[in-house]
């Protein structure tokens, strides 16, 4: 076990280091929005976002655009990136101390810098642009207004995304710099605890299934009133959030520590975000639960191939092991940057697995199975005296008694390291698992089949994958569907899929791959035809179809005058690819916000007038074109 004194020294050292750095820099940076006035945040650094850790703070801008954005310190503009997605319109300032501040989702850049950016956009005939000015080309002073706040890119509402990065471009927590504009007296809020059996022999309340527990709140913190009976290797997960004064937003919790009987088992302290590994959030949290709509539970144990560096853990990686009848006291402390704390306490009671479990079975179907990590769990309503399952695997037949009984169901557990079962028989009931293949982790592998081939790069998976695939000749959209596992397993990198369609596609030049999500929502995946086969690249599993898109985009003029041009452009399937507007053959800069589907003009010079023959050409991602023409 990790020595408590060593851990205390480690935390004290970290605290002194961070405190010294922050105090030495406490007056270096100025708050970028309404400096010196009370401000509010919509998001904090390290927050758990879709597939990344939030790299900065989101500063509220009174639910509107156009607030002055101030340079946080002296420096020079080192990078400019304008994009219709991601950070949107974004500025980077390099400072003499070696750090960089980032200002994202801007509405516009002001002054001489804004004029220069616009000139480069006209010169290159593109709205999306990335520029790296010379070191002394655009110097700025602390407090200088450099831009106006906005809602550009992938922003979900008007705000300023603000970052401080170190010399290695790792994101640091801006709240460590003692900005007085932010007030926080609210401790983290805890919603649920989950216990997860991590091997075939493990049990939670005598069952091999992940179980969630609601918490009660008392004067000493959160607690679970009853002991939880466990056996074997158990992982603990927590669902929690933090709040700040005066704002309803649910933010991330930077520091979580877990102890068993007062011995440190695991802690996570998110004060630096390494962008190279930010996708590892998918195993920092329980991805399958989140993908199924259960929210983000932070794992208080490390998963295989987790490369994140902000953990302190014992030799078991935070995993709780219980093989005797002792009781373990679990305590979890959650802290925010302002040292507001919440505590969780509960008891784990070591108990040998029971052959029969009280209560009703949690699943619905009479004959079914579940694949979880490296364990195949299946269940049946057996006939009297026929509870032993016959498992056919590796060209052999095994006799498998039930792990336990729940109500009128028998539950069986098969470790997949023994082989992938082709057929399971219990009495007159038969289960045929559709596990197609075992895909090894950490090396390149290609799997071939009748309907598709799948190529995994060496670093695509976080762990060994027992892949489930299927082919449906008449899927839910009356099109053949290619089902590549379920989206409950994360991918580090893209895999390549070669589809082998059986149906005839008469409009190949306009046919592309789409992933079918919840409620039939279609996400464009692109790809290309290779003869009669179709290749696509994806970083998520799921259901894929090939669909033709023959309908061009739509253009709706909203304002067409000498001073302003504004249109709504949209596409019902593949999405907008390019848009270009010309007047008498001269290109006009048009800003684009995909969230509102709006494009609007920005003049090269304020005195310019839009006069002549206007032509707007919009193309979707498969090459359909819509043209709008008129004379101004």
Cα torsion 116, 130, 141, 174: sign? positive
Helix (H) or strand (E) holding 35: none
What are the tokens at 472?
A: 């449906």
> Do residues 194 and 210 lie in contact, with contact meaning Cβ atoms separated by under 8 Å?
yes
Q: Which residues are CB-contacts of 498 (< 8 A; sequence separation ≥ 6)?
A: 452, 453, 454, 455, 530, 533, 534, 535
Tell me the CA distances in angstroms from 79 to 203, 259, 279, 294, one per residue in order.
54, 44, 24, 39
Query: What pLDDT score was predicted for residue 365?
Result: 63
89-106 tens-digit pLDDT? 999 999 999 999 999 999
Q: Please write the tens of the pLDDT for every residue from 506-558.
A: 999 999 999 999 888 999 999 999 999 999 999 999 999 999 999 999 999 99
Whole-number Cα distances in Å, 600 to 127, 139, 441, 581, 616: 11, 30, 48, 10, 12
Domain 28-177 has CATH 3.40.1440.10: no
The domain spans of the chain are 28-177, 189-350, 369-431, 437-548, 554-631
For the 437-548 domain, the top CATH level (class) is mainly beta
| 554-631 topology per CATH | Immunoglobulin-like (2.60.40)
Residues in the chain where the model's pLDDT stays below 50: 1-24
Dump pLDDT digits (tens) for 402-448: 999 998 889 999 999 999 999 999 988 899 998 999 999 989 999 99
Number of H helices, E strands in the chain: 4, 52
Distance CA 457, CA 465 (A): 13
Positive or negative, the CA dihedral 339, 276, 289, 234 is negative
- Residue 470: the pLDDT is 93
Alpha-carbon distance of 199 to 311, in angstroms, equals 23
What does the block give as tokens for 321? 């092991």
pLDDT confidence of residue 21: 47
Residue 491 DSSP symbol: B
Q: Distance between CA atoms of 73 and 265, rounded to whole angstroms? A: 41
């Amino acid at each position: 076990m990790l020595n408590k004194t060593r851990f205390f020294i480690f935390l004290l050292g970290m605290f002194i280091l961070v405190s010294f750095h922050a105090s030495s820099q406490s007056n270096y940076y100025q708050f970028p929005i309404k400096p010196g006035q009370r401000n509010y945040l919509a998001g904090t650094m390290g927050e758990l976002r879709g597939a990344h850790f939030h790299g900065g703070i989101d500063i509220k801008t009174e639910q509107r655009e156009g607030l002055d954005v101030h340079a946080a310190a002296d420096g020079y503009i080192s990078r400019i990136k304008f994009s219709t997605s991601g950070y949107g319109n974004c500025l980077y300032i390099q400072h003499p101390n070696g750090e960089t501040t980032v200002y994202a989702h801007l509405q516009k850049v002001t002054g001489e810098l804004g004029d220069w950016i616009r000139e480069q956009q006209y010169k290159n005939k593109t709205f999306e642009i990335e520029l790296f000015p010379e070191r002394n080309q655009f110097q700025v002073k602390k407090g200088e207004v450099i831009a106006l706040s906005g809602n550009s890119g992938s922003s979900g509402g008007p705000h300023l995304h603000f970052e401080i990065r170190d010399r290695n471009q790792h994101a640091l927590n801006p709240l460590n710099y003692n900005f007085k504009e932010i007030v926080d007296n609210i401790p983290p809020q805890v919603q649920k605890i989950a216990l997860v059996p991590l091997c075939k022999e493990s049990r939670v309340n005598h069952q091999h299934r992940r179980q969630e527990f609601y918490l009660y709140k008392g004067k000493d913190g959160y607690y679970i009133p009853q002991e939880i009976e466990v056996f074997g290797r158990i992982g603990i997960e927590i669902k929690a959030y933090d709040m700040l004064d005066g704002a309803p937003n649910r933010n991330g919790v930077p520091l979580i520590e877990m102890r068993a009987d007062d011995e440190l088992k695991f802690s996570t302290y998110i004060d630096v975000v390494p962008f190279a590994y930010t996708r590892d959030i998918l195993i920092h949290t329980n991805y399958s639960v989140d993908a199924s709509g259960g929210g983000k539970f932070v794992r208080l144990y490390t998963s295989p191939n987790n490369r994140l560096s902000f953990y302190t853990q014992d030799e078991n990686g935070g995993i709780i092991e219980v093989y005797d009848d002792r009781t373990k006291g679990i305590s979890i402390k959650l802290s925010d940057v302002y040292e507001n704390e919440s505590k969780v306490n509960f008891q784990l009671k070591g108990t040998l697995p029971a052959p029969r479990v009280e209560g009703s079975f949690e699943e619905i179907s009479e004959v079914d199975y579940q694949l979880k990590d490296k364990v195949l769990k299946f269940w049946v309503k057996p006939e009297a005296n026929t509870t032993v399952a016959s498992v056919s695997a590796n060209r052999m037949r095994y006799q498998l008694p039930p792990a336990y009984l729940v109500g009128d169901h028998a539950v069986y557990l098969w470790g997949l390291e023994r082989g992938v079962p082709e057929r399971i028989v219990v009495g007159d009931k038969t289960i045929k698992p559709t596990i197609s293949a075992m895909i090894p982790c950490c090396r390149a592998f290609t799997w071939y089949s009748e309907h598709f081939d799948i190529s995994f790069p060496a670093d695509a998976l976080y762990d060994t994958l027992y892949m489930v695939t299927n082919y449906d000749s008449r899927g839910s959209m009356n099109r053949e569907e290619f089902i590549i596992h379920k989206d409950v397993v994360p991918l580090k990198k893209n895999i390549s899929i070669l589809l082998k369609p059986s149906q005839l596609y008469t409009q190949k030049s306009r046919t592309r791959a789409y992933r079918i999500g919840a409620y039939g929502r279609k996400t464009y995946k692109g790809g290309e035809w290779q003869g009669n086969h179709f290749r696509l690249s994806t970083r998520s599993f799921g259901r894929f179809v090939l669909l033709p898109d023959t309908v061009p985009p739509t253009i709706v003029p909203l304002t067409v005058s000498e001073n302003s041009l504004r249109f709504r452009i949209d596409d019902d399937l593949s999405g907008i690819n390019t848009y270009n507007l010309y007047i008498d053959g001269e290109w006009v800069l048009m800003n684009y916000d995909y969230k509102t589907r709006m494009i609007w003009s920005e003049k090269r010079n304020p005195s310019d007038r839009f006069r002549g023959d206007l032509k707007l050409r919009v193309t979707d991602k498969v090459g359909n074109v819509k043209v709008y023409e008129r004379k101004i």
